[in-house]
Structure 1
Amino acid sequence: MTELLPLYDKTHECLMCHKTFTSKKARSRFVKMIKFDTDFCPLYSTEGVNPLYYYVKVCPHCGFSFSDDFLPFFAPGSKEVITEKVCNNWVSQDFGGERNVQSAIQTLKLAAYCGTLKKEKHINLAGLYIRLAWLYREIDNQEQELRFTNLALKEYMESYSTDDYKGTQVTEVRMFYLIGELSRRTNKIDQATRYFSKVIENQKNTTEATTVEMAKERWHEIREMQK
């Protein structure tokens, strides 16, 4: 009987050049999550695999990098810009094999660059930046973690103001909490308090009791710190 491996090959079609390629994906039975951090960063057991490493698909043919959340359509003129800035400069690399934290960071940066040129939704860019912050936390690079936390916060606030998160898995209550928590982590304490308060004010209108409790905990932590 063939031994089941933690990673398997999944075939993708590049959104940009439409060529097919394979990229590794983690089998769920090998993913062992221990807990979530206060910004929803999943903490995985070292015995298993980290699915964050395989969030981004990198086309080996043209270099366009994307996640499953990317929309299939491109803003007018964006394909030409991507061709000029990404595809024409692409030195063929294959990210389709097993990845470590450094190669995962590289793929997320490629996707963030491609997503920005594509004019991808703010909520999707925020997802890339927050994952970069999480991976830099994993290797204890506080400067880069702070940099990408700030970028994620900016995109979440843009997403909230333009409503482009609607129709995704991110609810309004979760959006309020994320803005509050990323504000707290970047020392924007007044803004953090304001958004945690919004979560608490909405507690009767949501089924997300865990998020409400987390907001209350953060709110009390801030109050204690200010005494």
Structure 2
Amino acid sequence: MTQIEANYDKKCECRMCKKSFTTNKLRSRFIKVSSYDTDFCPVYSLSENNPILYHVNVCPQCGFSSTDDFTPYFPPGALEVIDSKVCSQWVPHDFGQKRSIADAIKTYKLAVYCGLLKKEKHITLAGMYLRIAWLYRSIENENQEQRFMKLAIKDYLESYMADDFKGTQVSEVRLLYLIGELSRRTNQIEQAVKFFSKVIEQQSRTIESGIIDMARDRWYDIREGQKAAQEVQEII
């Protein structure tokens, strides 16, 4: 009997050069989440069966990189800019096989660059920055994790102000919570408290009660941390 592998090849068509290519993906039956961090980062039972590694599709012919969250639409001039700044500079490289964390980080950075040139939604860019932060967390690179969490906050805030998260899988409550939690993790405490409060204010208007509870827990953590710091100051 043939043993089914966790990885399989998915056929894609590049939206830039229209050429076909294959890229590795994971079969859902092999993806087992053991827990989640407070910013929704999934922790997988087997680190190699991490679908985050395969979220980005990179065309080996022209280098255009995207995720399924990218819109099909290219604003006027975007194709020419991407062709000039990405495709004409591209040294053919195939990211379509099994990926290491280092490989995955490269694919996300390529997709972010293409997304910026294509003027993708802020919610899409923020999601990629957050996944890069998670990958750096998994290899305990705190400096880079902090850097990309801050970039994610910036685009989540832009998304909130522009309402460009509407129509996506990210609800307003989830977005507000993420801004609060990433602010807490990057020591922007005042901003964290402000956004956790916004989440709690939504409790009567949302079915996502779990996120309301998480916001309360984080708000409590902050308050307890501030109390402890004040007590230390008083002793000193």
Q: Which amino acid counterpart does residue 143 of structure 1 have in structure 2?
A: N
Q: For structure 2, which runs of at least 5 residues remain unmatched after alignment? A: 228-236
Query: Deviations along 1:19-65, whole A, 9 cap, x unmatched?
Result: 11111110011111111100100000126600000000000010000
Give the distance between the partners of 2:149 and 2:48, measured in 1 at CA. Answer: 26
Residue 110 of structure 1 aligns to a residue in which SS?
A: helix
- Deviating beyond 3 angstroms after TM superposition, the runs of 4 or more aligned structure 1 residues are none
| Residue aligning to 1:98 | 98
Q: Which amino acid counterpart does residue 105 of structure 2 have in structure 1?
A: I
| Residue aligning to 1:199 | 199
Residue 115 of structure 1 aligns to a residue in which SS?
A: helix
- Equivalences for residues 62-141 of structure 1 within 5 A: 62-141=62-141
Query: Deviations along 1:109-150, whole A, 9 cap, x unmatched?
Result: 110011011111100000100000000000000000000000
CA apart distance, 1:94: 0.3
CA radius of gyration, larger in: 2
- Give the conservation status (yes or no) of the 8 Å contact 1:32–1:47: no
- Equivalences for residues 137-176 of structure 1 within 5 A: 137-176=137-176
Q: For structure 1, which runs of at least 5 residues remain unmatched after alignment? A: none
Give the distance between the partners of 2:4 and 2:210, measured in 1 at CA. Answer: 35
| Residue aligning to 1:212 | 212
CA apart distance, 1:205: 1.0
| Residue aligning to 1:11 | 11
CA apart distance, 1:17: 1.1
| Residue aligning to 1:37 | 37
CA apart distance, 1:188: 0.9
| Residue aligning to 2:221 | 221
CA apart distance, 1:100: 0.9
Query: Deviations along 1:191-216, whole A, 9 cap, x unmatched?
Result: 10010011111111111111111100
Residue 49 of structure 2 aligns to a residue in which SS?
A: coil
Query: Deviations along 1:84-122, whole A, 9 cap, x unmatched?
Result: 110000000000100011101110111001101111110
Give the distance between the partners of 1:183 and 1:74, measured in 2 at CA. Answer: 32
Residue 104 of structure 1 aligns to a residue in which SS?
A: helix
Q: Calculate the TM-score normalised by the size of structure 2.
A: 0.94
Residue 2 of structure 1 aligns to a residue in which SS?
A: coil
Give the distance between the partners of 1:184 and 1:64, measured in 2 at CA. Answer: 34
Residue 135 of structure 2 aligns to a residue in which SS?
A: helix
Q: Which amino acid counterpart does residue 183 of structure 1 have in structure 2?
A: S
Q: Which amino acid counterpart does residue 100 of structure 1 have in structure 2?
A: S
- Against the structure 1 CA distance between its residues 46 and 174, is the aligned structure 2 distance closer, same or farther, given a 3 Å change threshold? same
- Give the conservation status (yes or no) of the 8 Å contact 1:122–1:159: yes
Between Structure 1 and Structure 2, how many residues are aligned? 227
| Residue aligning to 1:55 | 55
Residue 144 of structure 2 aligns to a residue in which SS?
A: helix
RMSD: 0.9
The sequence identity of aligned pairs, in percent, is 60
CA apart distance, 1:186: 1.2
